């Protein structure tokens, strides 16, 4: 035969009534707790956003200091080497883009007008440009009296270059001379 088991619990269990729980709920305490939690979360988010902004500002200031240092370094390098850099750039420009015949004839015309008082004038230019330069100068009526003026083709001159000689002085219109003059002027100004 089976015997019945008796179970003994060491604690007393009370019956939980639903009504007892509902009566212990305090709506105002719950609202205050919710408001306090919300306010704490908002303040924490603001503080974290402020810290993130501060870190971003520090990074931006560090980057600005780095850029200012680089700027000062480049200024120092450029001030030392600017004439050489400009000379190199002008050499490349003159090789790729020589002066046009219109530019050369305008420049020579202006120089011839300045040398009206000269007793003799000799203009040298590249052989490829001699005929066209002569016709442009005749067209612009810049050629002085033919007894004191000569135009000679000089094979040593490249297209776009000229040398104007007179008893008042010489004008060297070669690329190398122009670049050297610019280089000297830049060195004197720095």
pLDDT digits (tens, 9 = 90+) for 83-120: 777 777 776 766 666 677 788 888 888 888 878 788 88
pTM, rounded to two decimals: 0.47
d(CA 181, CA 169): 16
CB-based contacts of 82-89 (< 8 A; 24+ apart in sequence): 82/186, 82/190, 83/183, 83/186, 83/187, 83/190, 84/183, 86/182, 86/183, 86/186, 87/179, 87/182, 87/183
Give pLDDT tens digits for 110-164.
Answer: 888 878 788 888 888 888 888 888 888 888 777 766 667 888 889 988 888 888 8
* Assigned token pair, 115: 């040398």
- Of residues 185 and 62, the one with the higher pLDDT is 62
Count Cα atoms within 13 angstroms, Cβ side, for 176.
3
Q: What is the mean pLDDT of residues 21-33?
A: 66
- Print the SS3 string covering 159-175: CCCEEEEECCEEEECCH
Question: Are 146 and 138 contacting, i.e. CB atoms less than 8 angstroms apart?
Answer: no
């Amino acid at each position: 035969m089976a015997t019945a088991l008796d179970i003994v619990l060491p604690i007393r269990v009370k019956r939980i009534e639903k009504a007892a729980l509902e009566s212990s709920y305090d709506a105002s305490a719950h609202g205050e707790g919710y408001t306090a939690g919300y306010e704490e979360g908002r303040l924490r988010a603001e503080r974290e956003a402020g810290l993130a902004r501060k870190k971003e500002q520090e990074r931006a200031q560090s980057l600005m200091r780095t850029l200012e240092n680089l700027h000062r370094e480049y200024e120092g390098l450029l001030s030392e080497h600017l004439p050489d850099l400009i000379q190199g750039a002008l050499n490349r420009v003159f090789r790729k883009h020589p002066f046009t015949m219109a530019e050369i004839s305008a420049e020579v015309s202006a120089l011839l007008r300045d040398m009206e008082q000269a007793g003799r004038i000799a203009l040298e230019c590249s052989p490829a440009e001699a005929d066209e330069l002569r016709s442009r100068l005749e067209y612009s009526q810049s050629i002085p009296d033919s007894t004191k003026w000569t135009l000679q083709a000089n094979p040593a001159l490249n297209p776009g270059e000229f040398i104007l000689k007179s008893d008042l002085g010489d004008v060297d219109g070669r690329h190398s001379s122009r670049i050297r003059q610019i280089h000297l002027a830049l060195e004197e100004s720095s």
